[in-house]
Structure 1
Amino acid sequence: MTSRHGDAVQRPAPDASMTLLNEVYRRPLDPGYAAAAEGRRTGTRPPRTRRGAALLLVLGVLLGLGTVTAAVSLRTPPPSVVAARNLLQNQIEQHDAEAEALEADITALSDEVRALQESALDDVDPALAAELEASQIASGVVPVTGTGLRIVLTDAPVDPESSEEDPSSRVQDFDLQVLVNGLWASGAEAVAINGERLTTTSAIRSSGPVVRVDLVPLVSPYVVEAVGDPVAMQTEIARSSAGQLLATLRNTYGIGVDTSSQTALELPGTGQVKLHDATVPEESRLTPPTPSSTSDEPLGTPDAGASTEGAGEAAGVAGSARHPGRERT
């Protein structure tokens, strides 16, 4: 059926569905506003009384108080959230105190074990005691002191007009890794970052904006201390890739680099360690078992033998025992 047939269905006007829009376009002002304006112009509008003004003022104050109360209630966390946050904060403080107490116990026990080892070995073999002491120094177990270098790396100043911080302006884990490797290669005998002694198994990693050394979070400034000949180390660092990196950090990214020679550095030790997977072969131990002419037992008292075996294990590893649960490498 087409439009030429007389009984065709009549379609509505194209603009019938836009009646409201057409009305708004033709009469943008509501008739009530027009009547109020006409009454104000002709003076027929009833005058505003004090009672009405007072009611209007009270209504405005109530609306303002309601708005403020709603905003405060939305910004204030519920009591359950506050209680959970306080509980977590108390648990964190408690665990921190327990960790500090355990670290103090580890340090005290490490000193006691080292004293017993030295006492036992001095009676059995003084040369072996000297060799054990040298191994402990090389592995980072005991504290050391001596001349050396101190290199301080500081994050670049933050631009107050910038909305986002540039990650390149911060000292990153790679920067510390290259610097530490350069110090080892230049003859450093012991290295520490912000008081954390580095060993052969130490890990330097980034966790967001924080640099961690053996799971210990560190922040800028990063004080890298190395015990050794300061003149020789400074010369070798300047010739190596570490020196080029320091120059790039200073000149390109604005990171602070301060190098100074020190006449007396004190680096802490990592304490006694426990082997997880590695074992020391019998032929590599400091005190291989020596059969007796009358017995199959090794010479020396059982206590001395036990202490010597423990010393061999201490000399064969360079991990950190101050931080339980550290990652293995």
Structure 2
Amino acid sequence: MSQQPPDRSTHAPRSRPDASMSLLTHAMEHSLDDGYAEAAERHAAEGTRGLPKTLRAKLGLAAGLVLAAAVVTVGAAQAQVEAPVLAKEREELIDRIEAETETADALEEDVDGLREEVGERQREALEKHGGDRSGLTLLLAGATEVTGPGVKLVVDDAEQTDAGGGGPRDSGDFSDTGRVRDRDMQRVVNGLWQSGAEAIAVNGQRLTAVSAIRAAGEAILVDNKPLVPPYTVLAVGDGQRISSTFRSSADGQYLQVLQDNYGVRANISVQEELTLPAAPSLIVRNAEPKGGGSDQQAAETGKGTS
């Protein structure tokens, strides 16, 4: 009898389609760990599964539940008791803040009123004792509003404030930037005074004989009030004369160098009519009787900006 030759083909027997996922399949088919299943079966066999059977166990469970309920109740009650107290304290704090704010606003109004009253009395004194030159005295002291022709000079920082190189800022006091400095504004204002300006204001701040232009960090202060660029300088006087004289003066040349070397932007134009406000407050530096027994007083006035 002939025998069939052995099958030497390399085809393996067909396996399950999910043979490559045996671990995942095992996890899905045995969702409960074997240890947990064994413990559950043991508790079921011993009759300890579910609620406690003995009276002692039941009392212990009841005591635990009562204690947990007591803790939750006490916490809720304490929170309920403290809530109105906290709300009351918050309302009292808000009331105090509002009251102090109202007090501060009232004091600020009083200060403004007193400042205006002092300024008005000083103006009246200047006008009363100025004699025939009372109008000039008021003008020079910055005690009255001024209207007339003049020039408008707008000075602004460079578009990019990293330009530099040479010029009057080659010193340790300035960094090579196109930012307008307090010293720049001092020279501009003094140049306008010297060019024939009768009254000057910077960004609406009227300058007097005792005005100061200073710096605080990067800000420019005029009489301790910060200004922001662009800086608009209004000068009342003969506009054509002020403009031409200022351009040819040392301070005008200084401003031109700032434009050429640092990109500082400046534009001066002649105006037919300008209006400058009165100075917000005046300081009488020196006042004394003009003659023996006379009640006339003289107040020192002048021009210039420090």
Q: TM-score range by the shorter chain?
A: 0.5 to 0.7
Equivalent residue number for residue 142 of structure 1: 144
Larger radius of gyration: 2
Equivalent residue number for residue 260 of structure 1: 269
* 1:213 to 1:274, Cα distance in 2 relative to 1, 3 A: closer
TM-score (normalised: structure 2) = 0.56
Task: Please tell me whether the aligned partners of residues 122 and 282 of structure 2 are also in contact (alpha carbons under 8 angstroms).
Answer: no
- What amino acid sits opposite 2:24 in the alignment? P
- What amino acid sits opposite 1:142 in the alignment? T
Map residues 1-329 of structure 1 onto 2, 5 A cutoff.
46-47=23-24, 49=27, 98-99=107-108, 102-111=111-120, 114-115=123-124, 118=127, 128-158=130-160, 168-270=177-279, 273-275=282-284, 278-280=285-287, 282=289, 285=290, 288-289=291-292, 298=294, 305=295, 308-309=296-297, 312=298, 315-317=299-301
Query: What is the CA deviation profile of residues 217-252 of structure 1, one whole-angstrom value per residue up to 9, with x for unaligned ones?
Result: 001010111111111111111111222222222232
Task: Please tell me whether the aligned partners of residues 148 and 237 of structure 2 are also in contact (alpha carbons under 8 angstroms).
Answer: yes
* 1:272 to 1:179, Cα distance in 2 relative to 1, 3 A: closer
State the distance in 1 between where 2:101 and 2:264 align: 33
Percent of residue pairs identical: 32
* 1:190 to 1:253, Cα distance in 2 relative to 1, 3 A: same
- What amino acid sits opposite 1:148 in the alignment? G
Query: What is the CA deviation profile of residues 162-186 of structure 1, one whole-angstrom value per residue up to 9, with x for unaligned ones?
Result: xxxx872211101101101111111
Task: Please tell me whether the aligned partners of residues 141 and 318 of structure 1 are also in contact (alpha carbons under 8 angstroms).
Answer: no
1:44, CA displacement in angstroms? 9.6
Task: Please tell me whether the aligned partners of residues 140 and 318 of structure 1 are also in contact (alpha carbons under 8 angstroms).
Answer: no
Q: How many aligned residue pairs are there?
A: 207
State the distance in 2 between where 1:247 and 1:193 align: 19
What is the alpha-carbon root mean square deviation over aligned residues? 3.9
Task: Please tell me whether the aligned partners of residues 151 and 260 of structure 1 are also in contact (alpha carbons under 8 angstroms).
Answer: yes
State the distance in 1 between where 2:28 and 2:249 align: 88
Query: Secondary structure in 2 aligned to 1:46?
Result: helix
Query: What is the CA deviation profile of residues 236-287 of structure 1, one whole-angstrom value per residue up to 9, with x for unaligned ones?
Result: 1111122222222223222221211111111122256344xx53465xx3xx
